[in-house]
Amino acid sequence: MSKQTVSNWVKQKKKIYEAVDSNSSTKKRHRFKPSTYEHLDDACYKWLVNARAQNIPVSASDLKTKAICIAKELGLTDFSASDGWLDHWKNRKNVSFKTISGTFNYIS
């Protein structure tokens, strides 16, 4: 094990602990890789939580559309709300969309 690896672990200690705590319900192992668009991810999550608090049904395509709008506001010109981005975002934020009575809801 190199000194650089240990140094990176020490620097990211808080994020590593948070990731372990937030993913404690999932039993799969995965490599911890931070998002390229961390501010965008956080803003999308806050928007989703706010929408659901108001009982507004949110679909995956609604979230992707909102992510593009937020990215433009943040000045991110190289962002595309692809299915891959959405899948990784859901894993990072521990969000899943479930169909209940014909509408989409999320479980966090």
Q: Give the integer Cα–Cα distance in Å for 20 and 32.
A: 9
- pLDDT at position 94: 85
Q: Are 32 and 19 in contact (CB under 8 A)?
A: yes
- pLDDT at position 49: 93
Average per-residue pLDDT for the chain: 82
Residue 31 pLDDT > 70, yes or no?
no
CATH superfamily of domain region 36-108: Homeodomain-like (1.10.10.60)
Residue 78 pLDDT > 80, yes or no?
yes
**Every domain of the chain and the residues it spans:** 36-108
- pLDDT at position 24: 55
Q: Are 9 and 16 in contact (CB under 8 A)?
A: yes
- pLDDT at position 27: 53
What's the average model confidence in pLDDT over 73-102? 84
Q: Which long-range contacts (CB under 8 A, 24 or more apart) does 95-100 make?
A: 95/45, 95/48, 97/59, 97/60
Q: Give percent helix, percent strand, percent coil of the chain, each to the nearest 5.
A: 55, 10, 35
Measure the N-to-C terminal CA separation of the chain; round to a whole number of Å.
36
What's the average model confidence in pLDDT over 82-103? 80
* Length of the chain, in residues: 108
